[in-house]
Amino acid sequence: MFIKSVIIDGFKSYGTRTEIKGFDPEFNAITGLNGTGKSNILDSICFVLGISNLTHVRANSLQDLIYKSGQAGVTKASVTIVFDNSDTSKSPINYEQHDEITVTRQIVVAGKNRYMINGSTVTNKHVTDFFNSIQLNVNNPHFLIMQGRITKVLNMKPPEILSMIEEAAGTRMYENKKLGAQKTIEKKDSKLKEMDEMINESINPKLQKLKEEKSQYVEYQRIQRELEQLNRIYTAYQYLNKEKWKQQSEDQLKDHQLKLEDGKKAISDGQEQIVTLEKQIEELQARRDAESGGNLHELEAQLKEISTSEARSSAALKGERENLAAETKRQKQLDKNVKDDEKALSTKNAELSNAQTVFNALQEAEKQDGEALIAAQEKFQAVSSGLVATDEGDNATLQDQLISAKEQLTEAETEVTQCNMNIKHNKSELEKKRPLLKKTEMAFAKDQKDLNLKEKELESLQSALQRLNYEDGMAERLQQQLRNLSEQTRTSSAELNNLSHRYPFLIFDYDDPEPNFDRRKVRGLLCKLFKVHDSKFNRAVETVAGGKLYNVVVDDEGISAKLIKKGNLRRRTTFAPLNKIQGSRADSRMIQKAEQIAGRGNVFLALSLVEYEPMYESVMSWTFGQTFICTSTEAAKKVAFHPEIKRKCIDLDGNVFDPSGIISGGAVDKSQPILSALVNIFQAETRLSSLKAEYGQLNQKLSEVAPIAASYENMKQKFDLCSRELERVKARLQDTPHYQLQQELEELETNIKAKEERISHCKNVIKEKTAKVKELESKMKNMKAIREKAVADAEAALKAAKKKAEDSRTKWKQREQEFAALRLEIQELEKSTESGKEQLVQSSETITRLQQSIDALSEELANIQEEVKAKKALVKSQKDAIGQKDKEIQQMTAQKEKIVKRINDEELNLKSLANYIEGCQKDVEKNDLLLKKMRKDYRWIDGDREYFGQPNGMYDFEANNPEEAGKKIDKLNKLKEKIGRNVNPKAMDMLSTQEEQFQEVMNKKGIIEEDRSKILFVIEELDVKKEEVIKKAWEKVNNDFNSILSSLLPSAHAKLKPVDGKSFMDGLEVKVGFGGIWKESLDELSGGQRSLVALSLILAMLLFKPAPLYILDEVDAALDPSHTQNIGQMLKAHFRQSQFIVVSLKDGMFNNANVLFRTSFVDGMSAVTRTVGGGGGKS
């Protein structure tokens, strides 16, 4: 199908009906002068084809397409194209039966738009589909080639060239289908997401809940049935037992009443015997005490107490010595480690210093070389552009520099002339005003004297103010600070009160039990006498101490006795006297074993985690010395139950593991540990004390400053008054004629001096610029040689700077990694050294504390041993004296004790019998009442009583164990109560409905997922098919591209190749070669060659899938006549199946045309004439 004729009426420059007929089926050319309507013919064809982007036809609106925009009486535009449709194989769909097809488009000024095909009105979409079916999509016009399109092709990136191949291959259809499929998938995914959310958030929870409710309801019914049966069995068993117990209680009551009478008689006989023996013993003891002194028992008690103290002190001393030895050994190892680390650190620091110097030098060199490279690049660019460096460092041409130098020379000469004139004028003014100044000098001197007196007075007051050493406003600032401190003190006091009220058990209040009582001997609550090293151990340490935290530590037991008796204590209190408390710590061997089991850093002796004064060693060892704290539950369990340790362990959450087998713990206590609260209280107390001290200091300072402030204010008023008077005198002086003349003379003299300096400067500029002008004029004569030398020098300097910068950067980068590694190693060594030193300090403190403890314990042990020795000697001498006299007393006492024991046993038996008899009577009465109550509560007992305990029946207690039944009833009742609170009787029906809904949703979800999988498979197939089609199109276009360019430029070759290292699907780039040598870039081609390459590429793509019509608008604008001739011949040779309409101004193009249309402008409108064969007659 091709164009036979075009009828234009009122369209753009064609104001009247113009018919352009006789189009050739192959090659048509349009030519004419600029502005005669050549391109308007092409615009009219695009107009009919349904173009929607009006910028392609050089219009802003449809009204712009009407002749003179409808202002010349023409109110509509109409274009009709007659197509030859004789070749039915290329006919539009549904138009095969028409030999000719007429397509018309009309618009009117009002903006109405109408299409007609063969005289029948059709819609815009119908026309678009009509032309799309024959590959004439005007809104994506690969058949429409404008001059600007050729320019765009030259600047396209590889992905854009690939998109042209895709357009030519028609794979946009695949993209549209893929896009549609992806949108469908998004909808499916959205639907699936909605279903998943509905299933997970609505259906599943309901389903799960109903299943649980169903199982609860079924279980509830089963429990009810089982409970009913078990209750009967257990009740029958209880009834039978109560009958037996009642009978047994009655029989036992009679037996014990008889035993009670016999016991009373035996007690009476024994008491008579005791009275006789006591008299005899008293007589013997009186005789023995008279001889021996009677203090042996007291001595033995004292000896036993002292021996116990000796054993405790000895054990404590041994433990402290073992701890000291272990700590000393650890200190030596720490000292060695620190020295090794310091030595290594010193070596590494020396290496770092050397490396730092080298690194800084390399870094500075790299920076300087980089700056030099940038300067060299800028200089090279400037020199290449014909610029030369000026004296100011800028770049400009020699001509511009010469002009600038001459301008500066002229300006300097002009300024010298102006300055001379100004100096002459100022000197004349000076001569006139000097005599006037002398006339007013006397009056001015008097005022000047007053001014000097005021200035001296002001200086005197200023000195006096400075001697006071007082800053203005100091008293007010101190008062404001006092007010602020007072407010802060009230806030801190309230905060401390709140904390104290929140933890009242941390407050120990008492009254002095006696006058002049020394409160220093009451040390306070145990929890306030130590600090935990790390707050993460607070809860564990608190658990170790337990109730001991709130024990009150005092110096001796006498203090505690006085406080209990007369201290008016607010609550019950436990005291810990320092002179009585004896504690011990676990030995070092056990600590090391614990660290081996749990790992160093995972287990600590509780005592090692707290800080306290040495005087509290005994009470702290008593509290924390035998318990371990572990960082994890697992570690605590291992250490506590290890056979070589067997000590209580606590983890960080406060869980307790006792080697006796007791484990306590569970949910972690979320409340704040008491020890953490203590820290807050201590901080609040410290803050409050600090604020009070600061308040006192400020108050004292204010009282000292107050008199000085009063003196300062008085003197300040005098100073201000004097200052104002001085200002008034100065103002009066400045208003006098003498002062004003003096100012004017000084200003004139200053102006003369400045102008003379400016003249000197301008003369130097004149001299310098004169020389510069001569130099530039000389350079202008040899400009070409100078420029070439400058370019060569700049290029050499650029290469040298680039190489030097690259070398510097390489060296710097190599050193950078080495330097960073060395610095990291030094940081690790510093941390290790610091940690070692801290451990050494702690170790030294521990050793000092242990040594003090050992000294104290050694002294105490020696004293105790001396006392034990003395007590033993006394006891021995006393025993020897009374040993003989004790035998008889002992025999009689033993006999008495036997009788007393027998009486006591008998009395206990009697009490027991009496209690038992009373209990039996109550049991009989109670059992009788219970039996009556059970018969009343359970009416079935009377009917079933004869079957209780009978074999093979419901009440067979051997087959149905009543004890187990009772236990089971308790469990079932609890379970029934628990389930009964939430049981839902309607759960069965609701579950069935919900399961049906769930199955329905799952079926829908399965259908959607299956559809989604099919769509994804289709997308994969489309991608594969698209790649295959594009590859074939690329290969075909590549061959045609080379063929067309070779025909236009002999010995030239062209190809489309993928970007290096990438696939052809990532983009294609154009490569052109001449004589077998491929160019690196299209920039190496001339403008005409670049246009031919672009045109060849476009035509190769058009040739891949030829359209029935091609429109070319001045595509030969940038070409010479020979190339234009070649294009025309190539079009005739390669595109025999398509119709070409070409606009051109060159003979080489339209001489090849079969039909030539010439446009002209007649009476303000365009006209067209037709020529056949490029040289035939007109028509």
Distances (CA, A) of 442 to 431, 438, 555, 900: 20, 8, 96, 139
Q: Are 107 and 54 in contact (CB under 8 A)?
A: no
pLDDT of residue 552: 93
Residues 47 and 112 in one domain: yes
pLDDT recorded at residue 195: 78
The closest alpha carbon to 112, from 146, 45, 65, 80, belongs to 65
Shared domain for 647 and 621, answered yes or no, is yes
In a domain, 425, yes or no: no
CATH number at residue 590: 3.30.70.1620
pLDDT in tens, 755-783: 889 889 898 988 888 888 888 777 777 76
What pLDDT is attached to residue 389? Answer: 56
CATH, residue 1154: 3.40.50.300
Residue of 79, 76, 124, 125 whose CA lies nearest to 102? 79
Residue 18 confidence class, pLDDT cut points 50, 70, 90: very high
Q: In the 3-class helix/strand/coil scheme, how is 706-744 assigned residue by residue?
A: HHHHHHHHHHHHHHHHHHHHHHHHHHHHHCCHHHHHHHH
Q: Which pLDDT band holds residue 1177 (cuts at 50, 70, 90)?
A: very low
Q: Is residue 972 in a domain?
A: no
Residues in the chain: 1179
Q: Say which range, 120-124, 699-703, 712-716, 1130-1134, has the weakest mean pLDDT.
A: 1130-1134
Which pLDDT score is estimated for 522? 92
Indicate whether 968 belongs to any domain: no
888 or 62: which leads in pLDDT: 62
681 within 8 A of 506, measured Cβ to Cβ:
yes
Which range marks the domain in which residue 111 is found?
Answer: 1-141+1109-1179
Average pLDDT over residues 977-991: 68
Q: Model confidence at 116, in pLDDT bands (50, 70, 90)? A: very high
Q: For residue 1178, what pLDDT is reported? A: 42
- Segment holding 764, helix H or strand E: helix 737-781
Same domain, residue pair 566 and 659: yes
Q: The tokens of 242 are what? A: 């109560």
**Same domain for 466 and 597:** no
In this prediction, residues 659-667 reach a mean pLDDT of: 77
| Angle of the 1087-1104 helix axis to the 1121-1134 helix axis, nearest 10 | 10
Q: Domain check: are 584 and 705 in the same one?
A: no
Pairing between β-strand 1139-1143 and β-strand 1109-1113 as defined by DSSP bridges:
parallel
1068-1074 and 113-117: which strand pairing?
unpaired
Look at residue 543 and tell me if it is in a domain: yes
Tokens of 243: 């009958």
Instruction: Please report the pLDDT score of residue 814 as a whole number.
Output: 67
What does the DSSP assignment read for 867-902? HHHHHHHHHHHHHHHHTTTHHHHHHHHHHHHHHHHH
Residues 585 and 725 reside in one and the same domain: no
Same-domain status, 26 and 64: yes
Q: At CA 653, angle to CA 648 and CA 656, rounded to 5?
A: 25
What mean pLDDT value characterizes the chain? 79
pLDDT above 90 for 396:
no
Q: In the predicted model, is pLDDT for residue 313 greater than 90?
A: no
Domain-embedded: residue 1142: yes
1176 has pLDDT over 60: no
Query: What would the mean pLDDT of 922-940 be, rounded to a whole number?
Result: 78
Overall average pLDDT of the 332-350 stretch = 79
Tell me which of 686, 711, 735 is where a domain ends.
735
What percent of the chain is modeled with pLDDT above 90? 7
pLDDT at 687 over 80: yes
Query: Dihedral through CA 183, CA 189, CA 190, CA 194, nearest 10?
Result: 160
Predicted confidence at residue 1175, as pLDDT, reads 39
The two three-digit tokens of residue 407, written as one number: 């301008």
Residue 389 lies in a domain: no
Average pLDDT over residues 296-314: 72
Q: Kindly state whether residues 657 and 604 are assigned to the same domain.
A: yes
| pLDDT tens by residue, 842-875 | 888 888 888 888 888 888 788 887 877 777 777 7
pLDDT value of residue 176: 66
Q: What is the mean pLDDT of residues 928-934?
A: 79
Task: Identify whether 1156 is part of a domain.
Answer: yes
Query: pLDDT over 70 for what percent of the chain?
Result: 87
In this structure, are 664 and 683 located in the same domain?
Answer: no
Mean pLDDT throughout 668-674?
74
Q: Which tokens hold the place of 366?
A: 């790299």
pLDDT, tens digit, for every residue of 573-609?
A: 899 999 988 888 888 888 888 988 888 889 999 999 9
Work out the burial of residue 820: count CB atoms within 10 Å of its CB; fewer than 13 is exposed, 13-18 middle, 19 or more buried: exposed
AA letter at 93: I
- Of 713, 735, 757, the last residue of a domain is 735
Regarding whether 729 and 604 lie in a shared domain, the answer is: no
pLDDT tens sequence across 139-172: 656 667 766 666 677 677 888 877 777 776 766 6
The reported pLDDT for the residue numbered 112 is 79
539 and 665 part of one domain: yes
pLDDT for residue 975 is more than 70 = yes
Higher-scoring residue by pLDDT: 649, 930: 649
Last residue of a domain, one of 735, 754, 777: 735
Q: Would 161 be classed as within a structural domain?
A: no
Q: How does pLDDT run across 163-215, given as a tens digit for each residue?
A: 777 776 766 666 667 777 778 878 878 887 887 877 777 777 777 776 776 67
- Condensed to tens digits (0 to 9), the pLDDT of residues 601-631 reads 899 999 999 999 999 999 999 999 989 999 9
Determine which helix (DSSP H) or strand (DSSP E) holds 692, and give its type and residue range: helix 674-734
Given a contact cutoff of 8 angstroms between Cβ atoms, the answer to whether 579 and 557 are in contact is yes
Q: How many domains does the chain have?
A: 3
Per-residue model confidence as pLDDT tens digits over 690-740: 888 888 888 888 888 888 888 888 888 888 888 888 788 777 777 777 777
575 neighbors 619 (Cβ within 8 angstroms): no
In a shared domain, residues 538 and 658? yes
Helical (H) or strand (E) element with 961? none
